[in-house]
Amino acid sequence: MKFRTTIVSLLVGALLLFSLGSTWAAEVRGVTDTEIKIALLVDFSGPGKFAGPPLAMGAKAYVDYINDQGPIHGRKITLVTEDNGILPNTTLAAAKKVIFKDEIFAIGFNLGSSGSSAIIPLCEENKVVMMPHGANKRFYSPGNKWVFVPYSTQYNMASRAVDYIVSQDPKARIGIIYQDDDFGRDGLDGAGDAAKYWGTQLVKAAPYKIGTIDMSPQVRMMKEANVDYILLWTYIPQTGSVLKETKMMGWDVTLIGNNTTAYRLIFPMAKELAEGYLAVTPFAPWEDVSPKVKDIIRKYSDFPIVDKAPFPAPMFLGSWAYFVAMIEGIRNAGRNLTPETLIKGIESIDQLNMDGVCPDMAFGPKRHVGYFSSRVLRADAKNMRFHEIAPIADPKAPQD
């Protein structure tokens, strides 16, 4: 009788623990016994709308690939995609929607540094891990518990650009045209700090307001300052305007831009004007991506021309890489998935193999940025592609 009572007690206890476990799972927003909801916030309607579709495709392709490999600790990933309009107010509205209406667990990708800054308090208050794209240095220095950057920031890339210029011409006169927001100012800061490291300075800085297309005033300022190199912390439309203006002037000045312009989309827009244009990015040109990754992308992507220009491969690969990091963090967190265990799971990532898409990633409790390095590419307008001319490397100036 005593033995039977003991067995019954154990069974009741086990059932109670199972019940509590199910209750726990239901109480973690965006997590059930079989599903994890992860948000993707990209721009389909604002100033960065050219980037929205390929970014959405990249994330979906990787999530579909992972789900086909089988559940992660019994759960599959559900991707919730939302238009954030890239601006701070529209991004805040999008983040509120996915958190409170869609009840997502984490934000695996948010396009836009200003918008990312705007939603950090919301993420803190609601315990949402967020990965910002177009990130700036303050996202990792001093950093935030809820923010992880699986990417070189604009600060890092601008520092790398100055390294490259100085390696070519230590006495080069360097100017910068930059968008007057978090994105552009982070590039300005990185370039300025790198110039000081090398014992030189930016001889001219010309800002412009977001949405401005005519860059002729800024180009004239660079011409009057007699610069040898112009750093462009601009998007593709503004970059095209600068290319046109320098051509009209007959001015043979070297232009070196950021990751947002290192795409084959620049060729149908700028045509032969793009020849020789330089850009800094952590991502390999599509032609150099490993066969393994290409095969997966071809299988899981709806994009019909992944092997032809002007397929914006680095955008596609950008969201892909973010979700590699997010899902690795989920895997490391184990079955007991909460916002806090996800943080520990991402912080435990060490030399995550990115198959050559971008530098391998490593995080830690005091390091919420995956890497600092990037490469320099040169535009080949005739063949509508970019070639690597300087390999992946960390900037020389201190980055953290």
Please give the average per-residue pLDDT across 85-105, as a whole number.
97
- Within a domain: 217: yes
Please give the average per-residue pLDDT across 134-142, as a whole number.
86
Q: For residues 9 and 196, is the Cβ–Cβ distance under 8 A?
A: no
Q: For residues 308 and 341, is the Cβ–Cβ distance under 8 A?
A: no
What value does the CA radius of gyration of the chain take, rounded to a whole number of Å? Answer: 23
Q: Confidence band (pLDDT; 50, 70, 90) for 262?
A: confident
Percent of the chain with pLDDT over 70: 90
Is residue 62 located within the same domain as residue 169?
no
Residue 162 domain boundaries: 155-281+376-393
Is residue 313 located within the same domain as residue 268?
no
- Within a domain: 112: yes
Is residue 168 located within the same domain as residue 127?
no
Is residue 297 located within the same domain as residue 277?
no
pLDDT for the residue 399: 87
- Within a domain: 305: yes
Is residue 215's pLDDT more than 60? Answer: yes
Is residue 194 located within the same domain as residue 297?
no
pLDDT for the residue 136: 84
Any bridge partners for residue 390, and if so which? 376
At 278, which helix (H) or strand (E)? Answer: strand 278-281
The one-letter code for the residue type at 95 is A
Provide the mean pLDDT of the chain: 90
Q: State whether residue 349 is helix, strand or coil.
A: coil
Q: How far apart are CA 282 and CA 317, in angstroms?
A: 11
Is residue 386 located within the same domain as residue 245?
yes
Least confident range of 5-19, 66-80, 268-282:
5-19
Q: State whether residue 298 is helix, strand or coil.
A: helix
Is residue 128 located within the same domain as residue 62?
yes
Is residue 228 located within the same domain as residue 264?
yes
Please report, for the domain that includes residue 117, its CATH number.
Answer: 3.40.50.2300
Is residue 214's pLDDT more than 70? Answer: yes
Is residue 254 located within the same domain as residue 387?
yes
Is residue 75's pLDDT more than 60? Answer: yes
pLDDT, tens digit, 9 for 90 and up, residues 293-317: 888 888 888 655 555 555 556 778 8
DSSP secondary structure code for residue 259 in this structure:
G
pLDDT for the residue 311: 57
pLDDT for the residue 384: 87
pLDDT, tens digit, 9 for 90 and up, residues 183-201: 899 999 999 999 999 999 9
Q: How far apart are CA 136 and CA 258, in angstroms?
A: 13
pLDDT, tens digit, 9 for 90 and up, residues 318-364: 899 999 999 999 999 999 999 999 999 999 999 999 998 899 999 99
pLDDT, tens digit, 9 for 90 and up, residues 361-384: 999 999 999 999 999 999 999 998
Q: Which of 78, 76, 141, 87 is nearest to 110 (CA)?
A: 87
pLDDT, tens digit, 9 for 90 and up, residues 283-292: 988 888 888 8
- Within a domain: 5: no
Is residue 1's pLDDT more than 70? Answer: no
Tell me the C-alpha to C-alpha distance, in Å, between residue 97 and each of 44, 84, 268, 376.
16, 10, 36, 38
Q: Which of 257, 252, 309 is nearest to 278 (CA)?
A: 257
- Within a domain: 11: no
Q: How many domains does the chain have?
A: 2
- Within a domain: 262: yes
Q: Please give the residue that has the higher pLDDT: either 244 or 264.
A: 244
Q: How far apart are CA 260 and CA 90, in angstroms?
A: 20
pLDDT for the residue 305: 54
pLDDT for the residue 268: 84
Q: What are phi and psi of 212, to 5 degrees?
A: -65, 135
Is residue 259 located within the same domain as residue 110?
no
Q: Confidence band (pLDDT; 50, 70, 90) for 17?
A: very low
- Within a domain: 54: yes
Is residue 353 located within the same domain as residue 381?
no
- Within a domain: 14: no
Strands 254-257 and 229-233: parallel
pLDDT for the residue 296: 85
